Structure 1
Amino acid sequence: MKKNILAFILLIAAISHAQHSIKGSMSPILESDWVILYKIEGTKQVFINNTNIKTDSILISGKKQAVGNFEIKLPSSAKPGAYRATYRLEGEGFVDFFYNKENVSFIFNPDYPQEAIAFQESSENKLYNAYMRDISLTQRQLDSVQIAALQDPELNLKEYYKEVYKEVENVQKKYEEITKNKYIAPFVKASARFNSTEILSSVNDYLSNIKNTFFKTLDFSNEALVNSSFLTNRILEYVFYINYSDDEAQQQILYKESIETVLSKVKKESYKRDIIQYLIEQFETSKNLEIIDYLFKTHYNKLPVNLQDKKFKTEKLALLAVEIGRIAPDFSWNERGKTIKLSTLNDAEQYVLVFWSTSCSHCLREIPQLHTYMKNKATIKVIAFALENDTFVWETYTKTNLPGWHHVLGLNKWENKTARTYQINATPTYFLLDKNKKIVAKPNEIKDVKEYLEKL
């Protein structure tokens, strides 16, 4: 009897520490031959493992077709959660799925990974996919009835709307019951839409209902939801799509209002920090300096000091330091025995700041052209910042060929501190500044400089 009990305990222990695998098959195959597996934790991805993609062929309708296969063994310590298999660094190059102590295998089209995925193993993923298919079909049907009524108020669709509404409710209730005690349960519950019980008669009422009920099913304290892409996707949807305006000024107001709404839902300070950083990175792609500054000033800087990531803040602000709309980073130089600072320079209405070098062939062609062009521009001054390894050639060249400009010598060339601040990686590089030294344009070539100045 004791031996049987011991064997049973050993069996349970072996099962509980079993290694599971993630298998994927993609068709068509890609040039990429690798897959990286991550676990999603908050807004971040934690590396788990990686492997190569192996090319095989299978028969489909009597024809051989190439398929890319991969398998990743999970460590026995792997925790249940949302995971991501990434196979391409740009675009939709990943597959998201759930892991809950069972093997996961799927086939998918790598060009449409989330839309064209079928799970062969994993009861939780099969069930969640079935739910998403069924609820999407019924929800789309309900939306189409509502939109038809808005497009043609003469249509009598009230009773039909109620029928479809009841069907949506039944599907939701069915899957909430089926998924009780499963890992995917909070995702099913959070996916529910709060539809109006009655058909709405105006577009404004319809849009208001979506906006006002958007967060009703979203629980920002649920660890499973937090540690997935679910909530971050919903945040993006709310900030960038639900709150949208064609008017730029109004859009900035809507961004701020939506940010306030989102962050008011997050009580855990560390997660709030992650969401703020995530939003900063999203607005960084469009270089929306106003909203980035707003996020830092209004929210990030008010977090507990121990939660603020100084490196993150420094890097982001430095990366955006020379974007259009920013005050140009200050620097000083000696001119005729005096120290001059960019910030206090006040001898023009506009400035052309150009980083160049006497060892740059493009510069030696463009800089003389710029000098000739600027002779008749009395209200515009040029600040020529030369990136050099020594002073001799620069001194000779500027005295002979470029009189009347402000000349700055930047030794150590690419490693020059000011050049690094301005993120200079090629010469010539142009910045156009107003009298307050705000960056108003970043022309690529001299023709772009001339074109901008001609409009003044």
Structure 2
Amino acid sequence: MKKLLVFIFLVSSITQAQHTVSGTMTNALETDWVILYKIKGARQQFVQNSTIKKDTIIIDGKNQIIGTFQFQIPQTSKAGFYRITYRTNSPNFVDFIYNNEDVSFTFHPDYPEQSVTFSKSNENIIYKNYLNEISKAQQKLDSLQITAIKNPNLDLNANYKAAFNQVNVIQNTYLKNTNGMYVQPFIKATLRANPSEIKTTAKDYMSNITSTFFDHMDFKDKTLINSSFLVDRITDYVFYINYSENKDVQQKLYKESVKTVLSKIENLPFKKDVIEFLVAQFENTKNLELIDFLFENYYEKLPEGLQNKDYLKEKKALFATEVGRIAPDFSWKENGKDLKLSTLNDAEKYVLVFWSTGCSHCLKEIPLLHKFLQDKTGVKVVAFSLEKNDFGWKNMKATLPNWHHILGLNKWENKIARTYNIMATPTYFILDKNKKIIAKPETLEDLKAFFTKE
């Protein structure tokens, strides 16, 4: 009996020690699940997942599906920024602070950041109210500044001074009211370093924004590091604040903004995560110049023990055959001679095609490719055939004269095929005379279109 009472007491204590995170979606038609993560800088750490309970309610005479979910959070969970995500095709999320209190919020899944409102959690309610107030005050200040630049004859100095003071009043009030709270570092870091007087030109205005952008952000603060805050601001600074429509100027701005950001980060694990985050962003636009810049100047200069060699190898392999790269070199024997892709000099352009006699599409397309290119004297084909043996290949290549033919045994496991990330045949690359990849046609029709336009 005594052991039973102890057991009941322990269960009761554990139950009471838990907090809940509850969410309500105001339109949950397409969503069935949510995942809870803890944010650690540029990374997310899985915590729990949950299904969504759906109910139909009538609003203005129309049926609307409301979704609710809940997570049980043990009191031992550390304070920090957390995130719930949903949808697989284009993940959306809601970020919130957890600091040993129940959290409850409502949001629309299509625009969560703009719609989220908190009904429980003092930290989140205060932060949301602060963001609303400081945003309105900052917008008024910016509006006066822009109006003054557009209309230099207007005297808006008094209005600007009043708006400037109002921003600072809001900031100081919230700093005072959040003394000792988890949210205070975010409030400190959010305030813009506004000039005390109106800037008279757009150039001076933008220069002030870029030069003071990080003035109130402490990159040593572990609370900020272990949240999405700094990564979000880094994203704004690199990809939105420093912007030019001129491609060459934009590349320079990217490099300068990356230098600025990474020079501020002393926490090496966080710096590593930020570099990997930036690589992923530039990967989306296949900006190889900036990816190389990040690897060569920053990632590879991290301490050896901190670098992820597998990550580095994987990314370099992934980008090795993108447009703009020099095609990875390989050699073969042809009519008793040793040849290398890099030293071929018998054409102005080359079509490198990976194909196979075991591929029905190839048996149809490769003869068509041969026929299309036979009168194009400045183009030479390097045909790399992925085979299990040479039987079919010997017969087929005889029907394709004036090409360079290479036999690649072991088919998909062939080393060169793996270097070129070949997942299907036929796969085409168009190279210039220096063997730089200038196009990657997805189909034979795309290849024909490339040469027809020339």
Same fold (TM over 0.5): yes
State the alpha-carbon separation in 1 of the partners of residues 89 and 209 from structure 2.
31
3-state secondary structure, aligned to 1:306: coil
Instruction: Say if 2:131 is the partner of 1:132.
Output: yes
- Contact 2:29 / 2:65 at 8 angstroms: preserved in 1? no
State the alpha-carbon separation in 2 of the partners of residues 23 and 305 from structure 1.
43
Partner residue in 1 for 2:413: 415
State the alpha-carbon separation in 1 of the partners of residues 56 and 119 from structure 2.
18
- Contact 1:58 / 1:66 at 8 angstroms: preserved in 2? yes
- Contact 1:332 / 1:341 at 8 angstroms: preserved in 2? yes
- Contact 1:138 / 1:168 at 8 angstroms: preserved in 2? yes
Partner residue in 1 for 2:449: 451
State the alpha-carbon separation in 2 of the partners of residues 48 and 451 from structure 1.
50
State the alpha-carbon separation in 1 of the partners of residues 49 and 159 from structure 2.
51
State the alpha-carbon separation in 2 of the partners of residues 379 and 42 from structure 1.
52
State the alpha-carbon separation in 1 of the partners of residues 301 and 274 from structure 2.
14
3-state secondary structure, aligned to 1:143: helix
1:120-143: CA deviation from partner (whole Å, max 9, x where unpaired): 111100110000010111111111
State the alpha-carbon separation in 1 of the partners of residues 140 and 91 from structure 2.
27
The residue type paired with residue 307 of structure 1 is: L
State the alpha-carbon separation in 1 of the partners of residues 402 and 259 from structure 2.
51
Partner residue in 2 for 1:119: 118
State the alpha-carbon separation in 1 of the partners of residues 80 and 96 from structure 2.
9
Partner residue in 2 for 1:24: 23
Q: Give 1:455 shift.
A: 4.7
> Relative to structure 2, which stretch is displaced further, 421-430 or 129-138?
421-430
Residues 200, 90 of structure 1: alpha-carbon distance in 2 compared, 3 angstrom cutoff: farther
Q: Give 1:63 shift.
A: 6.3
Partner residue in 2 for 1:273: 272
1:124-174: CA deviation from partner (whole Å, max 9, x where unpaired): 001100000101111111111111112222222111111111111111111
Residues 91, 321 of structure 1: alpha-carbon distance in 2 compared, 3 angstrom cutoff: same
Q: Give 1:92 shift.
A: 5.3
- Contact 1:92 / 1:112 at 8 angstroms: preserved in 2? no
Instruction: Say if 2:192 is the partner of 1:193.
Output: yes
Correspondence list, 1:215-254, <5 A: 215-254=214-253
The residue type paired with residue 45 of structure 1 is: Q
Q: Give 1:196 shift.
A: 1.3
Partner residue in 1 for 2:6: none
The residue type paired with residue 233 of structure 1 is: D
- Contact 2:85 / 2:91 at 8 angstroms: preserved in 1? no
Partner residue in 1 for 2:436: 438
State the alpha-carbon separation in 2 of the partners of residues 179 and 388 from structure 1.
69
- Kindly, what percent of the aligned residue pairs are identical? 54
1:41-67: CA deviation from partner (whole Å, max 9, x where unpaired): 121100101111111234546765321
Q: Give 1:32 shift.
A: 2.9
State the alpha-carbon separation in 2 of the partners of residues 289 and 103 from structure 1.
45
Q: Give 1:86 shift.
A: 0.7
Partner residue in 1 for 2:282: 283
Residues 72, 15 of structure 1: alpha-carbon distance in 2 compared, 3 angstrom cutoff: closer
**1:404 counterpart (402, 405, 424):** 402
Correspondence list, 1:60-209, <5 A: 60=59, 65-91=64-90, 93-209=92-208
The residue type paired with residue 94 of structure 1 is: F
The residue type paired with residue 243 of structure 2 is: Y
- Contact 1:22 / 1:105 at 8 angstroms: preserved in 2? yes
1:87-141: CA deviation from partner (whole Å, max 9, x where unpaired): 1234451110000001111110000011100111111001100000101111111
State the alpha-carbon separation in 2 of the partners of residues 342 and 17 from structure 1.
70
> Relative to structure 2, which stretch is displaced further, 325-334 or 114-123?
325-334
The residue type paired with residue 234 of structure 1 is: R
State the alpha-carbon separation in 2 of the partners of residues 434 and 106 from structure 1.
57
TM-score, normalised via structure 2 length: 0.93
- Structure 1 residue runs without a partner (length 5+): 1-9
Partner residue in 1 for 2:423: 425
The residue type paired with residue 408 of structure 2 is: G
1:219-246: CA deviation from partner (whole Å, max 9, x where unpaired): 1011111011110010011111111111
Q: Give 1:301 shift.
A: 1.2
Partner residue in 2 for 1:294: 293
3-state secondary structure, aligned to 2:100: coil
Partner residue in 1 for 2:340: 341
1:393-448: CA deviation from partner (whole Å, max 9, x where unpaired): 2211111x201111112223333222222122222211011122111111122232
The residue type paired with residue 403 of structure 2 is: W
3-state secondary structure, aligned to 2:210: helix
State the alpha-carbon separation in 2 of the partners of residues 306 and 360 from structure 1.
45
Instruction: Say if 2:355 is the partner of 1:359.
Output: no
3-state secondary structure, aligned to 1:431: strand
- Contact 1:27 / 1:108 at 8 angstroms: preserved in 2? yes
Residues 63, 292 of structure 1: alpha-carbon distance in 2 compared, 3 angstrom cutoff: closer
State the alpha-carbon separation in 1 of the partners of residues 246 and 446 from structure 2.
28
3-state secondary structure, aligned to 2:127: helix
The residue type paired with residue 248 of structure 1 is: K
The residue type paired with residue 67 of structure 1 is: I
3-state secondary structure, aligned to 2:81: strand
1:24-50: CA deviation from partner (whole Å, max 9, x where unpaired): 110211423111110001211001011
State the alpha-carbon separation in 1 of the partners of residues 63 and 30 from structure 2.
19
The residue type paired with residue 135 of structure 1 is: I
Partner residue in 1 for 2:56: 57
C-alpha RMSD of matched pairs (Å): 2.0
The residue type paired with residue 130 of structure 1 is: N
3-state secondary structure, aligned to 2:114: coil
Q: Give 1:298 shift.
A: 1.0
- Contact 1:280 / 1:295 at 8 angstroms: preserved in 2? yes
TM-score, normalised via structure 1 length: 0.93
Partner residue in 2 for 1:392: 391
